[in-house]
Amino acid sequence: MTILAFVIGVVVLVVGLAVSIALHEIGHLLPAKAFGVRVGQYMIGFGPTLFSRRRGETEYGVKLLPLGGYISMAGMYPPAPTMEEDAEDAAATRGRTARRRVSSRFFRTLVQDAREANAETLIGAEERTFYRLPVYKRVIIMLGGPFMNLLQAIVLFTILFSGFGVQTATTTVSSLSECVPVSSTSQDCASTSAPAEQAGLEPGDTIVSIDGVAVADFTEATALIQASPGRAMNFVIDRDGTQRTVTITPAAVPKADDPSTDIGFIGVRPTGALVAQPLWAGPQAAIENVGAVAGIIVKLPVMVAETASTLVTGAERDPNGPLSVVGAGVIAGEMASSSSPIVNRVAGIIGLLGSLNIALFVFNLVPLLPLDGGHVVVALWDGIKRWWARIARRPAPRPVDATKLIPVTFVVVAALAVMGGVLILADLINPLSLI
């Protein structure tokens, strides 16, 4: 049963990730079609096509590996430069070394391949091309995908925080302490009877208020108790639906980090429960996660290098470090196969999917091709060039030819592949675990 639950957790994560990617691509597809761009393909996954169906001018399909996706828009790049324009570019780059020329030939081949693939999308598209759109429409199309991931994260975190709730220490008593400790963190007893036990409190009692102050959770109750060592306090207790008032005087216990200061102690342990949060808690958590993930993305190369070093040294990995999809699958499997109540396991996987959508949102905003942020930068640069030409009363410049950035794209893809490979290897050999 445990193995089956583990497999179910992994499958749920993979399906959830595939849905997240599908919606990401819909975020590109809908505005592209709304702005009149011809979209030839909408595909989820990579590799061989499992099935596809054409609706109008667009082929919709699913490929073997559901770990990515794309839409094929007509004219993502402007038409290839004319022979005269190419000659001008070649003249501007003369004088390079032989090694540089060999490298340039390799990258020129990549550029030419990209131009030929782009040229195929231009056939019959006429004015319905991406590169002809105003800058703001191109930006909307490219940001549509990441926005869908952010929206999914907000929905998932809202379900998690307001639907399932957050594990919270409640004011319901689970058990009583048998003694008063010698300090706030000590297990040794200073006396043999705690104030709550002396006052007659029992497991299952719920603290409603303290000295007339309503308490919503154990944290609030603890703050009031700790602030009143040696002072009698009136506790309103709910027992089986009936409320009554008891007087308890918190014992004075020295703080472990400051023995000269006493804090109040009555000797009750709380019951944990999932407590629903306000509707704004989910969006707030999503935004906070954006900042945390952005910090990881900025330091990603360094963190991946540190992760790689653990493969050699055998040291423990940073629990807040990056994961591959393999690592995320292991975490999901462990959540599903844990001994926690089923509601906690489901909530855990929902939270994991929400975090993955935040990661997709932030990662795709990185301003490098082939990521969405890179296409946004190209569109903005094109707009700046046209704006400057108008200001300077010069002829409109040629559209920015992003195919010239194919060498940069190649380096970025290679770097991502290396980092992804390192993380997958680490998740297989030295995985992070909930256990």
**DSSP per-residue string spanning 123-189:** TTTTT--STTS-HHHHHHHHHHHHHHHHHHHHHHHHIIIIII-EEEEEEEEEEE-SSEESSTT--SE
Radius of gyration (Cα) for the chain, nearest Å?
Answer: 30
Mean pLDDT of all residues in 230-235: 94
Confidence of residue 100 (pLDDT cuts 50, 70, 90): very low
Residues that are catalytic: 25
Main-chain dihedrals φ then ψ at residue 374, nearest 5 degrees: -65, -40
For residues 90 and 191, give the distance between their C-alpha atoms in angstroms, rounded to a whole number.
89
pLDDT(89) > 70: no
For residues 145 and 21, give the distance between their C-alpha atoms in angstroms, rounded to a whole number.
9
Asked if residues 332 and 346 have their Cβ atoms less than 8 Å apart, the reply is no
For residues 428 and 106, give the distance between their C-alpha atoms in angstroms, rounded to a whole number.
35
Of 102 and 379, the structure prediction assigns the larger pLDDT to: 379
Look over the chain and give the mean of its residue pLDDT values, rounded to a whole number: 87
Q: Which residues make Cβ contacts (< 8 Å) with residue 240, sequence separation at least 6?
A: 204
Are β-strands 189-191 and 268-275 bridged in parallel, bridged antiparallel, or unpaired? unpaired
For residue 53 the two structure tokens come to: 């169906």
Confidence of residue 387 (pLDDT cuts 50, 70, 90): very high
What pLDDT is recorded for position 435? 61
Confidence of residue 365 (pLDDT cuts 50, 70, 90): very high
pLDDT(289) > 80: yes
Q: CA-CA distances (angstroms) from residue 409 to 114, 356, 402, 414, 419?
A: 11, 24, 10, 8, 15
Q: CA-CA distances (angstroms) from residue 33 to 18, 73, 349, 379?
A: 22, 9, 34, 18
Summarised one tens digit per residue, pLDDT across range 184-215 is 777 778 777 899 999 999 999 999 999 999 99
pLDDT(98) > 50: no
Of 314 and 43, the structure prediction assigns the larger pLDDT to: 43
Mean pLDDT of all residues in 130-152: 95
For residues 171 and 186, give the distance between their C-alpha atoms in angstroms, rounded to a whole number.
23
Mean pLDDT of all residues in 228-238: 94
For residues 47 and 36, give the distance between their C-alpha atoms in angstroms, rounded to a whole number.
28
Element (H, E) at 69: strand 58-73
In one letter, which amino acid is 157? F
Mean pLDDT of all residues in 286-308: 90
For residues 420 and 14, give the distance between their C-alpha atoms in angstroms, rounded to a whole number.
17
Confidence of residue 224 (pLDDT cuts 50, 70, 90): very high
In one letter, which amino acid is 358? I
Q: Which residues make Cβ contacts (< 8 Å) with residue 354, sequence separation at least 6?
A: 152, 153, 156, 157, 160, 286, 289
pLDDT(126) > 80: no
Are β-strands 258-265 and 251-255 bridged in parallel, bridged antiparallel, or unpaired? antiparallel
Confidence of residue 37 (pLDDT cuts 50, 70, 90): very high
Q: In a 10 Å sphere around its CB, with 0-12 CB exposed, 13-18 middle and 19+ buried, how is residue 348 labelled?
A: buried
Confidence of residue 41 (pLDDT cuts 50, 70, 90): very high
Q: In a 10 Å sphere around its CB, with 0-12 CB exposed, 13-18 middle and 19+ buried, how is residue 383 labelled?
A: middle
pLDDT(124) > 90: no
Q: Which residue has the tokens 């070394």?
A: 97
Are β-strands 166-176 and 242-248 bridged in parallel, bridged antiparallel, or unpaired? unpaired
Q: CA-CA distances (angstroms) from residue 371 to 113, 161, 304?
A: 19, 31, 19
What pLDDT is recorded for position 83? 52
Mean pLDDT of all residues in 354-359: 94
What pLDDT is recorded for position 263? 93
- Greatest mean pLDDT among 40-49, 139-148, 392-401 lies in 139-148
Confidence of residue 1 (pLDDT cuts 50, 70, 90): low
What pLDDT is recorded for position 88? 52
pLDDT(157) > 90: yes
